[in-house]
Structure 1
Protein backbone atom coordinates (compact mmCIF):
# COMPACT_ATOMS: atom_id res chain seq x y z
CA UNK A 1 0.00 0.00 0.00
CA UNK A 2 2.76 2.42 0.94
CA UNK A 3 4.86 2.17 -2.21
CA UNK A 4 7.29 4.83 -0.96
CA UNK A 5 7.95 3.20 2.42
CA UNK A 6 7.70 -0.39 3.55
CA UNK A 7 9.28 -2.44 6.36
CA UNK A 8 12.10 -3.66 4.12
CA UNK A 9 13.33 -0.07 3.79
CA UNK A 10 13.29 0.30 7.56
CA UNK A 11 15.23 -2.94 7.97
CA UNK A 12 17.82 -1.73 5.46
CA UNK A 13 18.06 1.60 7.26
CA UNK A 14 18.62 -0.14 10.61
CA UNK A 15 21.60 -2.02 9.18
CA UNK A 16 22.96 1.10 7.50
CA UNK A 17 22.88 3.35 10.56
CA UNK A 18 23.75 0.79 13.24
CA UNK A 19 27.46 1.75 13.52
CA UNK A 20 26.55 5.38 14.16
CA UNK A 21 23.71 5.37 16.69
CA UNK A 22 22.93 4.01 20.15
CA UNK A 23 20.66 1.05 20.78
CA UNK A 24 18.65 2.90 23.42
CA UNK A 25 17.19 1.05 26.42
CA UNK A 26 13.67 0.41 27.60
CA UNK A 27 12.55 0.36 31.22
CA UNK A 28 9.35 -0.86 32.82
CA UNK A 29 7.53 1.29 35.36
CA UNK A 30 5.42 -0.44 37.98
CA UNK A 31 1.75 0.27 38.76
CA UNK A 32 1.33 3.12 41.22
CA UNK A 33 4.23 5.15 39.88
CA UNK A 34 3.41 8.27 37.89
CA UNK A 35 -0.05 8.26 39.49
CA UNK A 36 -1.10 5.44 37.16
CA UNK A 37 -2.72 2.17 38.19
CA UNK A 38 -1.09 0.12 35.43
CA UNK A 39 2.48 -0.61 34.31
CA UNK A 40 4.00 1.13 31.32
CA UNK A 41 7.20 0.80 29.32
CA UNK A 42 9.43 3.73 28.39
CA UNK A 43 11.66 3.75 25.31
CA UNK A 44 14.52 6.03 26.34
CA UNK A 45 15.27 7.57 22.97
CA UNK A 46 16.19 10.82 24.71
CA UNK A 47 19.46 9.04 25.58
CA UNK A 48 20.30 8.77 21.86
CA UNK A 49 23.68 10.10 20.76
CA UNK A 50 22.36 13.59 19.90
CA UNK A 51 19.60 13.53 22.52
CA UNK A 52 16.76 12.54 20.19
CA UNK A 53 15.51 10.00 17.64
CA UNK A 54 16.27 12.43 14.81
CA UNK A 55 19.81 11.13 14.37
CA UNK A 56 18.36 7.93 12.89
CA UNK A 57 16.83 9.73 9.94
CA UNK A 58 19.80 12.04 9.56
CA UNK A 59 22.29 9.21 9.17
CA UNK A 60 20.00 7.26 6.86
CA UNK A 61 19.75 10.31 4.57
CA UNK A 62 23.47 10.96 4.45
CA UNK A 63 24.42 7.29 4.05
CA UNK A 64 21.89 6.50 1.33
CA UNK A 65 22.29 9.63 -0.82
CA UNK A 66 25.23 11.37 -2.46
CA UNK A 67 26.45 14.38 -0.49
CA UNK A 68 27.85 17.15 -2.73
CA UNK A 69 30.79 19.42 -2.05
CA UNK A 70 28.33 22.07 -0.83
CA UNK A 71 27.46 19.81 2.11
CA UNK A 72 24.03 19.46 3.66
CA UNK A 73 21.30 21.85 4.74
CA UNK A 74 18.36 21.42 7.08
CA UNK A 75 15.54 23.39 8.67
CA UNK A 76 14.82 22.67 12.30
CA UNK A 77 13.58 23.83 15.66
CA UNK A 78 16.55 22.01 17.14
CA UNK A 79 16.61 18.21 17.26
CA UNK A 80 16.70 17.59 13.52
CA UNK A 81 19.33 20.30 13.12
CA UNK A 82 21.49 18.80 15.85
CA UNK A 83 21.16 15.36 14.28
CA UNK A 84 22.05 16.56 10.78
CA UNK A 85 24.99 18.57 12.10
CA UNK A 86 26.29 15.58 14.07
CA UNK A 87 25.88 13.13 11.18
CA UNK A 88 27.44 15.53 8.68
CA UNK A 89 30.44 16.25 10.88
CA UNK A 90 31.01 12.58 11.66
CA UNK A 91 30.87 11.70 7.97
CA UNK A 92 33.14 14.58 6.95
CA UNK A 93 30.62 17.04 5.51
CA UNK A 94 29.76 20.63 6.34
CA UNK A 95 26.24 21.55 7.41
CA UNK A 96 24.03 24.63 7.57
CA UNK A 97 20.91 24.67 9.74
CA UNK A 98 18.07 27.18 9.32
CA UNK A 99 16.16 27.74 12.58
CA UNK A 100 12.99 29.82 13.09
CA UNK A 101 13.90 32.56 15.54
CA UNK A 102 10.40 32.52 17.04
CA UNK A 103 10.76 28.99 18.44
CA UNK A 104 14.53 28.78 18.87
CA UNK A 105 15.69 27.52 22.28
CA UNK A 106 19.20 28.32 23.45
CA UNK A 107 19.87 24.77 24.61
CA UNK A 108 19.12 23.41 21.15
CA UNK A 109 21.11 26.12 19.40
CA UNK A 110 24.11 25.21 21.54
CA UNK A 111 23.73 21.57 20.58
CA UNK A 112 23.60 22.30 16.85
CA UNK A 113 26.69 24.50 17.01
CA UNK A 114 28.57 22.05 19.24
CA UNK A 115 27.99 19.29 16.68
CA UNK A 116 29.53 21.44 13.94
CA UNK A 117 26.50 23.04 12.29
CA UNK A 118 26.38 26.62 11.06
CA UNK A 119 23.14 28.03 12.47
CA UNK A 120 21.09 30.59 10.53
CA UNK A 121 18.24 32.16 12.53
CA UNK A 122 15.27 33.14 10.37
CA UNK A 123 12.43 35.61 10.84
CA UNK A 124 8.79 34.76 10.29
CA UNK A 125 7.00 31.42 10.62
CA UNK A 126 8.21 27.83 10.50
CA UNK A 127 6.93 27.69 6.93
CA UNK A 128 9.05 30.75 6.08
CA UNK A 129 12.09 28.98 7.50
CA UNK A 130 11.35 25.92 5.38
CA UNK A 131 11.23 28.11 2.28
CA UNK A 132 14.61 29.67 3.06
CA UNK A 133 16.21 26.27 3.63
CA UNK A 134 14.82 24.98 0.33
CA UNK A 135 16.02 28.10 -1.48
CA UNK A 136 19.52 27.63 -0.08
CA UNK A 137 19.60 24.03 -1.32
CA UNK A 138 18.48 25.12 -4.79
CA UNK A 139 21.01 27.94 -4.97
CA UNK A 140 24.06 26.07 -3.66
CA UNK A 141 23.42 22.44 -4.58
CA UNK A 142 23.64 21.38 -0.92
CA UNK A 143 21.82 18.17 -0.03
CA UNK A 144 18.50 19.11 1.58
CA UNK A 145 17.72 16.82 4.50
CA UNK A 146 14.01 17.21 5.14
CA UNK A 147 12.97 16.73 8.78
CA UNK A 148 9.89 14.60 8.07
CA UNK A 149 8.88 14.21 4.43
CA UNK A 150 11.26 11.93 2.57
CA UNK A 151 11.40 8.14 2.53
CA UNK A 152 15.01 8.07 3.89
CA UNK A 153 13.94 10.21 6.85
CA UNK A 154 10.88 8.10 7.66
CA UNK A 155 12.75 4.83 7.19
CA UNK A 156 15.43 6.04 9.59
CA UNK A 157 12.89 7.13 12.19
CA UNK A 158 11.04 3.84 11.77
CA UNK A 159 14.08 1.96 13.03
CA UNK A 160 13.11 2.95 16.58
CA UNK A 161 9.93 0.89 16.19
CA UNK A 162 11.90 -2.08 14.91
CA UNK A 163 14.18 -1.75 17.92
CA UNK A 164 11.24 -1.54 20.34
CA UNK A 165 9.70 -4.70 18.91
CA UNK A 166 12.99 -6.54 19.38
CA UNK A 167 13.18 -5.36 23.00
CA UNK A 168 9.56 -5.74 24.08
CA UNK A 169 7.48 -8.79 23.29
CA UNK A 170 3.75 -8.32 22.86
CA UNK A 171 3.31 -4.55 22.76
CA UNK A 172 -0.29 -3.42 22.21
CA UNK A 173 -0.12 0.40 22.15
CA UNK A 174 2.52 3.10 21.88
CA UNK A 175 2.19 6.84 22.60
CA UNK A 176 4.05 9.01 20.09
CA UNK A 177 4.36 12.82 20.12
CA UNK A 178 3.87 14.38 16.68
CA UNK A 179 5.36 17.36 14.86
CA UNK A 180 5.69 17.01 11.09
CA UNK A 181 4.89 13.31 11.17
CA UNK A 182 8.24 11.73 10.32
CA UNK A 183 8.48 9.79 13.57
CA UNK A 184 4.90 8.57 13.78
CA UNK A 185 4.89 7.84 10.05
CA UNK A 186 7.97 5.64 10.31
CA UNK A 187 6.67 3.91 13.43
CA UNK A 188 3.24 3.24 11.91
CA UNK A 189 4.81 1.97 8.69
CA UNK A 190 6.82 -0.56 10.70
CA UNK A 191 4.12 -1.74 13.11
CA UNK A 192 1.29 -1.89 10.58
CA UNK A 193 -1.73 -3.46 12.24
CA UNK A 194 0.28 -5.18 14.99
CA UNK A 195 0.40 -2.19 17.37
CA UNK A 196 -1.99 0.70 18.00
CA UNK A 197 0.03 3.88 17.39
CA UNK A 198 -1.49 6.83 19.28
CA UNK A 199 -0.77 10.41 18.19
CA UNK A 200 -0.27 12.94 21.02
CA UNK A 201 -0.04 16.69 20.41
CA UNK A 202 -0.50 19.96 22.25
CA UNK A 203 -3.11 22.54 21.37
CA UNK A 204 -0.38 24.76 19.92
CA UNK A 205 1.19 22.02 17.76
CA UNK A 206 -1.85 20.09 16.53
CA UNK A 207 -0.77 19.37 12.96
CA UNK A 208 -1.99 15.79 12.83
CA UNK A 209 -5.36 16.44 14.45
CA UNK A 210 -6.03 19.33 12.10
CA UNK A 211 -4.86 17.36 9.08
CA UNK A 212 -7.28 14.56 9.85
CA UNK A 213 -10.15 17.05 9.92
CA UNK A 214 -9.11 19.57 7.27
CA UNK A 215 -6.80 17.69 4.93
CA UNK A 216 -3.07 18.09 4.34
CA UNK A 217 -3.04 21.71 3.13
CA UNK A 218 -2.79 23.54 6.45
CA UNK A 219 -0.30 25.94 8.02
CA UNK A 220 -0.04 25.64 11.80
CA UNK A 221 1.68 28.52 13.57
CA UNK A 222 3.30 26.56 16.37
CA UNK A 223 3.00 27.93 19.88
CA UNK A 224 3.26 26.81 23.48
CA UNK A 225 5.71 24.73 25.48
CA UNK A 226 6.19 22.01 22.84
CA UNK A 227 6.64 24.29 19.83
CA UNK A 228 10.40 23.81 19.76
CA UNK A 229 9.97 20.03 19.65
CA UNK A 230 6.75 19.54 17.70
CA UNK A 231 6.41 22.72 15.69
CA UNK A 232 5.80 21.46 12.16
CA UNK A 233 3.55 23.70 10.03
CA UNK A 234 1.85 20.67 8.47
CA UNK A 235 2.27 16.94 8.08
CA UNK A 236 4.49 15.89 5.24
CA UNK A 237 2.80 14.25 2.26
CA UNK A 238 4.28 10.81 2.97
CA UNK A 239 3.50 10.85 6.71
CA UNK A 240 -0.01 12.07 5.91
CA UNK A 241 -0.62 9.07 3.66
CA UNK A 242 0.54 6.65 6.33
CA UNK A 243 -1.19 8.40 9.22
CA UNK A 244 -4.56 8.57 7.50
CA UNK A 245 -4.46 4.81 7.00
CA UNK A 246 -2.80 3.62 10.18
CA UNK A 247 -3.30 6.09 13.06
CA UNK A 248 -6.78 5.99 14.57
CA UNK A 249 -6.32 7.55 18.04
CA UNK A 250 -5.49 11.25 18.09
CA UNK A 251 -5.06 13.15 21.36
CA UNK A 252 -4.61 16.92 21.78
CA UNK A 253 -3.75 18.33 25.21
CA UNK A 254 -3.21 21.74 26.84
CA UNK A 255 0.31 22.74 27.87
CA UNK A 256 -0.58 22.36 31.54
CA UNK A 257 -0.80 18.58 31.09
CA UNK A 258 2.69 18.50 29.58
CA UNK A 259 4.15 20.21 32.65
CA UNK A 260 2.31 17.77 34.91
CA UNK A 261 3.60 14.76 32.98
CA UNK A 262 7.18 16.02 33.13
CA UNK A 263 6.97 16.58 36.89
CA UNK A 264 5.52 13.10 37.45
CA UNK A 265 8.21 11.56 35.27
CA UNK A 266 10.92 13.24 37.31
CA UNK A 267 9.38 12.39 40.68
CA UNK A 268 8.82 8.73 39.80
CA UNK A 269 11.92 7.92 37.79
CA UNK A 270 14.41 10.81 38.02
CA UNK A 271 14.24 10.97 34.22
CA UNK A 272 13.90 14.25 32.37
CA UNK A 273 12.95 14.79 28.76
CA UNK A 274 12.11 17.76 26.61
CA UNK A 275 8.49 18.94 26.23
CA UNK A 276 7.93 16.70 23.21
CA UNK A 277 8.79 13.63 25.30
CA UNK A 278 6.51 14.74 28.13
CA UNK A 279 3.71 15.35 25.62
CA UNK A 280 3.60 11.64 24.77
CA UNK A 281 3.44 10.69 28.46
CA UNK A 282 0.74 13.29 29.11
CA UNK A 283 -1.72 11.20 27.12
CA UNK A 284 -1.66 8.79 30.06
CA UNK A 285 -1.10 11.05 33.06
CA UNK A 286 -3.94 13.34 31.94
CA UNK A 287 -6.36 10.45 31.61
CA UNK A 288 -6.95 11.27 27.93
CA UNK A 289 -6.02 7.67 27.12
CA UNK A 290 -6.94 4.89 29.54
CA UNK A 291 -5.66 1.43 28.61
CA UNK A 292 -7.94 -1.57 28.76
CA UNK A 293 -7.19 -4.24 31.37
CA UNK A 294 -4.00 -6.09 30.45
CA UNK A 295 -3.25 -3.70 27.56
CA UNK A 296 0.51 -3.43 27.20
CA UNK A 297 1.45 0.23 26.72
CA UNK A 298 4.69 2.00 25.88
CA UNK A 299 5.66 5.67 25.75
CA UNK A 300 8.38 6.94 23.45
CA UNK A 301 10.50 9.55 25.22
CA UNK A 302 11.61 11.05 21.93
CA UNK A 303 14.11 13.69 23.01
CA UNK A 304 15.93 15.35 25.88
CA UNK A 305 17.37 18.55 24.42
CA UNK A 306 15.96 21.12 26.84
CA UNK A 307 17.01 22.87 30.01
CA UNK A 308 16.83 20.19 32.67
CA UNK A 309 14.51 22.22 34.91
CA UNK A 310 12.11 23.55 32.23
CA UNK A 311 9.09 22.00 33.94
CA UNK A 312 9.76 23.34 37.45
CA UNK A 313 8.65 26.94 36.90
Structure 2
Protein backbone atom coordinates (compact mmCIF):
# COMPACT_ATOMS: atom_id res chain seq x y z
CA UNK A 1 0.00 0.00 0.00
CA UNK A 2 2.96 2.31 0.60
CA UNK A 3 6.64 2.05 -0.18
CA UNK A 4 9.90 3.95 0.12
CA UNK A 5 8.94 6.26 -2.76
CA UNK A 6 5.91 7.45 -0.77
CA UNK A 7 8.11 8.22 2.22
CA UNK A 8 10.60 10.10 0.05
CA UNK A 9 7.76 12.19 -1.39
CA UNK A 10 6.55 12.94 2.13
CA UNK A 11 10.06 13.97 3.12
CA UNK A 12 10.15 16.55 0.32
CA UNK A 13 6.77 18.00 1.36
CA UNK A 14 7.79 18.29 4.99
CA UNK A 15 11.16 19.99 4.52
CA UNK A 16 11.25 23.06 6.78
CA UNK A 17 7.80 22.32 8.17
CA UNK A 18 8.64 19.79 10.91
CA UNK A 19 11.62 19.37 13.19
CA UNK A 20 14.50 17.07 12.34
CA UNK A 21 14.73 15.55 15.79
CA UNK A 22 18.14 14.78 17.30
CA UNK A 23 19.69 11.48 18.35
CA UNK A 24 21.33 10.69 21.70
CA UNK A 25 24.04 8.02 21.70
CA UNK A 26 24.15 6.48 25.17
CA UNK A 27 23.75 3.28 27.20
CA UNK A 28 20.87 1.95 29.27
CA UNK A 29 21.02 -0.30 32.31
CA UNK A 30 19.11 -3.54 31.84
CA UNK A 31 17.42 -5.56 34.54
CA UNK A 32 20.39 -7.93 34.31
CA UNK A 33 22.60 -5.07 35.47
CA UNK A 34 24.64 -4.62 32.28
CA UNK A 35 24.98 -1.49 30.15
CA UNK A 36 23.66 -1.79 26.60
CA UNK A 37 24.67 0.81 23.97
CA UNK A 38 21.67 2.37 22.26
CA UNK A 39 20.84 5.41 20.20
CA UNK A 40 17.68 7.24 21.21
CA UNK A 41 15.76 9.04 18.47
CA UNK A 42 14.28 11.97 20.40
CA UNK A 43 11.04 12.24 18.48
CA UNK A 44 9.21 13.45 21.58
CA UNK A 45 10.86 16.82 20.81
CA UNK A 46 8.76 17.06 17.64
CA UNK A 47 6.18 19.85 17.34
CA UNK A 48 3.13 18.81 19.33
CA UNK A 49 5.15 16.46 21.54
CA UNK A 50 4.98 13.37 19.32
CA UNK A 51 5.83 12.03 15.87
CA UNK A 52 2.22 12.43 14.71
CA UNK A 53 2.59 15.90 13.17
CA UNK A 54 4.62 14.37 10.33
CA UNK A 55 1.72 12.25 9.12
CA UNK A 56 -1.09 14.75 9.61
CA UNK A 57 0.74 17.56 7.85
CA UNK A 58 1.81 15.32 4.99
CA UNK A 59 -1.81 14.26 4.49
CA UNK A 60 -3.00 17.87 4.30
CA UNK A 61 -0.20 18.88 1.93
CA UNK A 62 -0.82 15.86 -0.30
CA UNK A 63 -4.57 16.46 -0.63
CA UNK A 64 -5.60 17.09 -4.25
CA UNK A 65 -7.91 19.87 -3.08
CA UNK A 66 -7.24 21.83 0.13
CA UNK A 67 -9.92 20.74 2.64
CA UNK A 68 -12.24 23.29 4.19
CA UNK A 69 -12.47 21.36 7.48
CA UNK A 70 -10.61 18.49 9.15
CA UNK A 71 -11.85 15.89 11.63
CA UNK A 72 -9.96 13.11 13.41
CA UNK A 73 -10.56 10.60 16.19
CA UNK A 74 -7.69 10.39 18.63
CA UNK A 75 -6.70 9.44 22.13
CA UNK A 76 -4.72 12.68 22.14
CA UNK A 77 -1.44 12.74 20.19
CA UNK A 78 -2.89 12.38 16.69
CA UNK A 79 -5.47 15.00 17.55
CA UNK A 80 -2.81 17.43 18.75
CA UNK A 81 -0.86 16.84 15.54
CA UNK A 82 -3.94 17.34 13.37
CA UNK A 83 -4.77 20.54 15.24
CA UNK A 84 -1.26 21.93 14.70
CA UNK A 85 -1.19 20.90 11.05
CA UNK A 86 -4.65 22.40 10.46
CA UNK A 87 -3.69 25.63 12.18
CA UNK A 88 -0.59 25.90 9.98
CA UNK A 89 -2.84 25.55 6.94
CA UNK A 90 -5.56 27.79 8.46
CA UNK A 91 -8.18 25.02 8.39
CA UNK A 92 -10.75 24.44 11.19
CA UNK A 93 -10.19 21.16 13.04
CA UNK A 94 -12.51 18.91 15.06
CA UNK A 95 -10.96 16.27 17.32
CA UNK A 96 -13.09 13.48 18.76
CA UNK A 97 -11.51 11.88 21.83
CA UNK A 98 -12.68 9.13 24.18
CA UNK A 99 -13.91 10.33 27.57
CA UNK A 100 -10.91 8.49 29.05
CA UNK A 101 -8.38 10.74 27.28
CA UNK A 102 -5.83 12.33 29.65
CA UNK A 103 -6.77 15.82 30.80
CA UNK A 104 -3.36 17.16 29.74
CA UNK A 105 -4.01 16.15 26.13
CA UNK A 106 -7.54 17.57 26.09
CA UNK A 107 -6.19 20.87 27.44
CA UNK A 108 -3.49 20.88 24.77
CA UNK A 109 -6.10 20.37 22.04
CA UNK A 110 -8.24 23.20 23.33
CA UNK A 111 -5.21 25.47 23.58
CA UNK A 112 -4.47 24.81 19.91
CA UNK A 113 -7.92 26.04 18.93
CA UNK A 114 -9.39 22.67 18.01
CA UNK A 115 -13.03 21.88 18.64
CA UNK A 116 -12.92 18.94 21.08
CA UNK A 117 -15.74 16.40 21.12
CA UNK A 118 -15.74 13.82 23.93
CA UNK A 119 -17.44 10.60 22.85
CA UNK A 120 -17.38 7.03 24.18
CA UNK A 121 -14.77 5.35 26.32
CA UNK A 122 -12.80 3.65 23.51
CA UNK A 123 -10.98 4.80 20.40
CA UNK A 124 -13.42 2.81 18.26
CA UNK A 125 -16.32 4.87 19.65
CA UNK A 126 -14.52 8.14 18.93
CA UNK A 127 -13.66 6.98 15.42
CA UNK A 128 -17.28 6.23 14.58
CA UNK A 129 -18.33 9.67 15.79
CA UNK A 130 -15.56 11.30 13.72
CA UNK A 131 -16.78 9.41 10.65
CA UNK A 132 -20.29 10.72 11.23
CA UNK A 133 -19.00 14.29 11.59
CA UNK A 134 -17.01 13.97 8.36
CA UNK A 135 -20.17 12.95 6.55
CA UNK A 136 -22.33 15.61 8.19
CA UNK A 137 -19.90 18.48 7.68
CA UNK A 138 -18.10 17.44 4.49
CA UNK A 139 -14.79 17.40 6.35
CA UNK A 140 -11.57 15.62 5.43
CA UNK A 141 -11.23 12.77 7.89
CA UNK A 142 -7.69 12.08 8.95
CA UNK A 143 -6.77 8.79 10.58
CA UNK A 144 -4.43 8.33 13.51
CA UNK A 145 -2.54 5.48 11.84
CA UNK A 146 -4.28 3.86 8.85
CA UNK A 147 -4.08 6.41 6.04
CA UNK A 148 -1.32 6.13 3.39
CA UNK A 149 -0.14 9.74 3.63
CA UNK A 150 -0.14 9.58 7.44
CA UNK A 151 1.98 6.43 7.42
CA UNK A 152 4.35 7.85 4.81
CA UNK A 153 4.83 11.01 6.86
CA UNK A 154 5.74 9.00 9.94
CA UNK A 155 8.19 7.02 7.85
CA UNK A 156 10.37 10.09 7.36
CA UNK A 157 11.76 9.24 10.81
CA UNK A 158 13.32 6.16 9.23
CA UNK A 159 15.05 8.29 6.59
CA UNK A 160 16.44 10.59 9.28
CA UNK A 161 17.74 7.67 11.32
CA UNK A 162 19.56 6.27 8.28
CA UNK A 163 21.28 9.63 7.76
CA UNK A 164 22.03 10.31 11.42
CA UNK A 165 23.20 6.79 12.34
CA UNK A 166 24.56 5.00 9.24
CA UNK A 167 25.67 2.07 11.42
CA UNK A 168 22.11 1.39 12.59
CA UNK A 169 21.17 -2.29 12.28
CA UNK A 170 17.86 -2.35 14.15
CA UNK A 171 15.09 0.07 15.10
CA UNK A 172 12.71 -0.53 18.00
CA UNK A 173 9.32 1.16 17.70
CA UNK A 174 6.25 1.24 19.94
CA UNK A 175 3.13 -0.15 18.26
CA UNK A 176 -0.49 0.87 18.69
CA UNK A 177 -2.34 0.89 15.39
CA UNK A 178 0.95 0.41 13.56
CA UNK A 179 1.34 3.61 11.55
CA UNK A 180 4.77 4.47 12.94
CA UNK A 181 6.28 1.00 12.65
CA UNK A 182 4.85 0.63 9.13
CA UNK A 183 6.23 3.98 7.99
CA UNK A 184 9.70 3.29 9.34
CA UNK A 185 9.69 -0.23 7.90
CA UNK A 186 8.70 1.14 4.48
CA UNK A 187 11.46 3.75 4.63
CA UNK A 188 14.32 1.43 5.52
CA UNK A 189 16.12 -1.29 3.62
CA UNK A 190 16.12 -5.01 4.34
CA UNK A 191 19.47 -4.65 6.12
CA UNK A 192 17.79 -2.92 9.05
CA UNK A 193 15.73 -5.05 11.41
CA UNK A 194 12.47 -3.45 12.56
CA UNK A 195 11.11 -4.52 15.94
CA UNK A 196 7.61 -3.59 17.02
CA UNK A 197 7.16 -3.33 20.80
CA UNK A 198 3.74 -3.26 22.43
CA UNK A 199 2.19 -3.78 25.86
CA UNK A 200 1.10 -7.31 26.71
CA UNK A 201 -2.33 -5.83 27.35
CA UNK A 202 -2.71 -4.45 23.79
CA UNK A 203 -0.97 -6.94 21.45
CA UNK A 204 -2.34 -5.69 18.12
CA UNK A 205 0.79 -6.52 16.09
CA UNK A 206 1.51 -9.76 17.92
CA UNK A 207 -2.03 -11.03 17.44
CA UNK A 208 -2.15 -9.95 13.79
CA UNK A 209 1.09 -11.75 12.95
CA UNK A 210 -0.17 -14.90 14.68
CA UNK A 211 -3.48 -14.79 12.81
CA UNK A 212 -2.05 -13.62 9.49
CA UNK A 213 -4.53 -10.73 9.45
CA UNK A 214 -5.54 -7.86 11.75
CA UNK A 215 -7.78 -9.05 14.58
CA UNK A 216 -9.49 -7.29 17.47
CA UNK A 217 -7.73 -7.43 20.83
CA UNK A 218 -8.67 -6.30 24.31
CA UNK A 219 -7.20 -2.98 25.43
CA UNK A 220 -5.81 -3.20 28.94
CA UNK A 221 -2.60 -1.28 29.60
CA UNK A 222 -1.38 1.87 31.30
CA UNK A 223 -0.17 3.01 27.85
CA UNK A 224 -3.65 2.74 26.32
CA UNK A 225 -4.12 6.50 25.95
CA UNK A 226 -1.58 6.49 23.08
CA UNK A 227 -1.33 2.78 22.14
CA UNK A 228 -4.99 1.96 22.62
CA UNK A 229 -5.96 0.85 19.11
CA UNK A 230 -7.85 -2.43 19.37
CA UNK A 231 -6.78 -3.62 15.92
CA UNK A 232 -3.67 -3.25 13.75
CA UNK A 233 -4.20 -1.08 10.68
CA UNK A 234 -4.47 -2.67 7.25
CA UNK A 235 -1.55 -0.61 5.92
CA UNK A 236 0.62 -1.73 8.81
CA UNK A 237 -0.33 -5.36 8.23
CA UNK A 238 0.74 -5.14 4.61
CA UNK A 239 4.08 -3.51 5.39
CA UNK A 240 5.06 -5.65 8.41
CA UNK A 241 4.41 -8.84 6.49
CA UNK A 242 6.47 -7.67 3.50
CA UNK A 243 9.33 -6.47 5.70
CA UNK A 244 9.32 -9.29 8.25
CA UNK A 245 8.85 -6.96 11.22
CA UNK A 246 9.38 -8.71 14.56
CA UNK A 247 7.00 -8.44 17.52
CA UNK A 248 8.00 -8.10 21.17
CA UNK A 249 5.69 -7.73 24.18
CA UNK A 250 6.45 -5.90 27.44
CA UNK A 251 4.34 -5.64 30.57
CA UNK A 252 3.19 -2.43 32.22
CA UNK A 253 5.78 -2.67 35.00
CA UNK A 254 8.56 -2.72 32.42
CA UNK A 255 7.13 0.36 30.70
CA UNK A 256 6.98 2.26 33.99
CA UNK A 257 10.56 1.25 34.83
CA UNK A 258 11.83 2.39 31.42
CA UNK A 259 10.17 5.78 31.78
CA UNK A 260 11.64 6.15 35.26
CA UNK A 261 15.15 5.34 34.00
CA UNK A 262 14.82 7.93 31.23
CA UNK A 263 13.98 10.55 33.84
CA UNK A 264 16.51 9.52 36.48
CA UNK A 265 19.48 9.11 34.15
CA UNK A 266 18.82 11.72 31.44
CA UNK A 267 16.05 13.98 32.77
CA UNK A 268 13.99 12.92 29.74
CA UNK A 269 10.23 13.07 30.31
CA UNK A 270 8.13 10.92 27.99
CA UNK A 271 4.65 9.50 28.14
CA UNK A 272 4.28 5.80 28.84
CA UNK A 273 3.94 4.97 25.14
CA UNK A 274 7.16 6.90 24.55
CA UNK A 275 9.04 4.54 26.88
CA UNK A 276 7.50 1.32 25.58
CA UNK A 277 10.10 0.53 22.89
CA UNK A 278 12.99 1.14 25.29
CA UNK A 279 11.34 -1.12 27.88
CA UNK A 280 12.01 -4.11 25.64
CA UNK A 281 15.77 -3.69 25.96
CA UNK A 282 15.77 -2.78 29.65
CA UNK A 283 13.61 -5.72 30.75
CA UNK A 284 15.31 -8.21 28.42
CA UNK A 285 12.34 -8.93 26.17
CA UNK A 286 14.68 -7.94 23.35
CA UNK A 287 18.42 -8.57 23.67
CA UNK A 288 20.56 -6.93 20.97
CA UNK A 289 23.31 -9.06 19.49
CA UNK A 290 26.89 -8.13 20.45
CA UNK A 291 27.51 -6.46 17.08
CA UNK A 292 24.08 -4.83 16.86
CA UNK A 293 23.54 -1.06 16.77
CA UNK A 294 19.95 -0.55 17.97
CA UNK A 295 18.03 2.69 17.68
CA UNK A 296 15.04 3.24 19.95
CA UNK A 297 12.36 5.75 18.96
CA UNK A 298 11.07 7.81 21.90
CA UNK A 299 7.83 8.68 20.17
CA UNK A 300 5.93 11.04 22.48
CA UNK A 301 5.94 13.15 25.63
CA UNK A 302 2.39 14.39 26.13
CA UNK A 303 2.09 13.55 29.80
CA UNK A 304 1.78 15.16 33.19
CA UNK A 305 5.32 15.36 34.67
CA UNK A 306 3.78 15.00 38.12
CA UNK A 307 2.89 11.41 37.19
CA UNK A 308 6.55 10.35 37.06
What TM-score do you get using the length of structure 1 for normalisation?
A: 0.94
What CA RMSD, in Å, does the superposition of the two structures yield over aligned residues?
A: 1.6
CA drift of 1:200 comes to 0.5
Distance 1:37 1:124, change over 3 A: closer
1:207 aligns with 2:204: yes
State the SS of the aligned residue for 2:49.
coil
Identify which of 239, 243, 246 aligns with 1:242: 239
Q: Is the 8 A contact 1:126 1:221 kept in 2?
A: no
Q: Following the alignment from structure 2 to structure 1, what is the Cα–Cα distance between the partners of residues 179 and 139?
A: 21
2:303: which partner in 1?
A: 306
1:49: which partner in 2?
A: 47
State the SS of the aligned residue for 1:50.
helix
Q: Following the alignment from structure 1 to structure 2, what is the Cα–Cα distance between the partners of residues 280 and 309?
A: 22
2:99: which partner in 1?
A: 101
CA drift of 1:38 comes to 2.3
Identify which of 227, 230, 238 aligns with 2:227: 230
Identify which of 24, 27, 31 aligns with 2:24: 27
2:84: which partner in 1?
A: 86
Q: Deviations over 1:215-270 (max 9, x none)?
A: 43522342221001111121111111111222442111110111111111112111
State the SS of the aligned residue for 1:201.
strand
Distance 1:271 1:33, change over 3 A: farther
Q: Following the alignment from structure 2 to structure 1, what is the Cα–Cα distance between the partners of residues 137 and 191?
A: 43
Q: Deviations over 1:176-234 (max 9, x none)?
A: 00011100000001113121110100022211111112343522342221001111121
Q: Is the 8 A contact 1:273 1:301 kept in 2?
A: yes
Q: How many residues align?
A: 306
Structure 2 residues without counterparts, runs of 5 or longer: none
Return 244-253 or 281-290, whichever deviates more: 244-253
Q: Following the alignment from structure 1 to structure 2, what is the Cα–Cα distance between the partners of residues 275 and 36?
A: 23
Structure 1 residues without counterparts, runs of 5 or longer: none
Q: Following the alignment from structure 1 to structure 2, what is the Cα–Cα distance between the partners of residues 33 and 237?
A: 34
